[in-house]
Amino acid sequence: MFENVSLGVSGFEWFPNGKEFIVSSQSNLLPTGWGPIELFKVAADANLQQEKIHPFFTILTNKDLFAITAEEFKWSDDGKWLSFLAIPTASWSNDSNSLCVITAKGERFQEVGKMLNNQDWFNWAPNKNQLAYISGEGRFLVENKRTTIAEMPAFIGQKVYTPKGDVDLDLSWYSPDVVIVARSKENKEWKEGPVPTMYTSLYSIHLKSNDQKQLTAPKEKERDDTPQAVNGYITWVRHMENEQNNVWIREGLEGKDSIWIKNVESEPVFYIEKHKL
């Protein structure tokens, strides 16, 4: 059984209370240019009834924050902040999108930074209002991709953790103070031709001390990416040239690596059930 709730939606997400959606409506092209992006709060039982759909926030775009749609909504752990990508027109979105945050009541909105359109590249910390994301513009992954931590409100400050000469191409929170990233050396020599493969290994970043350690050591022509941390375990996908990929697993930061799932096309999906007392 299903029912229509709202029309004209380009992106949506449940509110933490499970009773409402936040939805976005795509900007319209007017004679004067692109109009704003409208966000709405929609009751789950709206059933297309306009009286159950209310304006939430209007994103006024300009040359610094140009976008025509808002998508990839994610709530902070305490439900007080909502992050999302403000995405411009097609070709532009391949090179730069605006990572934005807004409070749960819509009274404060802020652009956090520029990044690629990759929903896995920004995530909230467990039990903290910190947003980790891979900043940097440009569709090619050979340079200018940095793990950045923004403390909410984002104007409090942001810190870049990727060392110079490296690029980070995926991330996951291991704990409130440790982030796992997939890291490779930059390739600034590449200018044209086939885009080179970036052979990544996993690294841990301890945010308080800035201590960073290499966790995995794939062989030549192998790469580790898509790290995920669940209940103290770390999983990742190891890609091997001309062979099937395997999912590897480790218990803790210092545990022993082992193959968990053989011959996969993509990473596993974990569903974590949260109980509120």
pLDDT digits (tens, 9 = 90+) for 91-137: 899 999 999 999 999 999 999 999 999 999 999 999 999 999 999 99
- Structure confidence at residue 7 as a pLDDT band (50, 70, 90): low
Instruction: Using CA atoms of 261, 269, 154, 176 in order, give the dihedral in degrees to the nearest 10.
Output: -60
Structure tokens at 201: 């290994």
Report d(CA 7, CA 28) in Å as an integer: 15
pLDDT digits over 191-227, tens only?
889 999 999 999 999 999 999 999 999 999 999 999 9
Average pLDDT, the chain: 91
DSSP state of 120: G
Burial 66-97 (b: 16+ CB within 10 A, else e): bbbbbbbbbbbbeeebbbbbbbbeeeebeebb
User: In this structure, how many other beta carbons lie within 10 angstroms of the beta carbon of residue 225?
Assistant: 23
Whether 25 contacts 36, CB under 8 Å: no
Q: What is the pLDDT of residue 5?
A: 54
Q: What is the pLDDT of residue 273?
A: 60
Report d(CA 148, CA 227) in Å as an integer: 17
Report d(CA 86, CA 68) in Å as an integer: 7
pLDDT digits over 229-244, tens only?
999 999 999 999 888 8
Q: Which CATH class is domain 61-264?
A: mainly beta
pTM of the entire predicted model:
0.92
Structure tokens at 132: 């980790």
pLDDT at 3 > cutoff 70 = no
Report d(CA 172, CA 120) in Å as an integer: 8
Whether 149 contacts 162, CB under 8 Å: no
From the list 83, 9, 78, the residue with the least C-alpha distance to 39 is: 9
Cα angle, residue 224 at apex, residues 222 and 226 outer, rounded to 5°: 145
Report d(CA 207, CA 132) in Å as an integer: 11
From the list 123, 169, 172, the residue with the least C-alpha distance to 150 is: 123
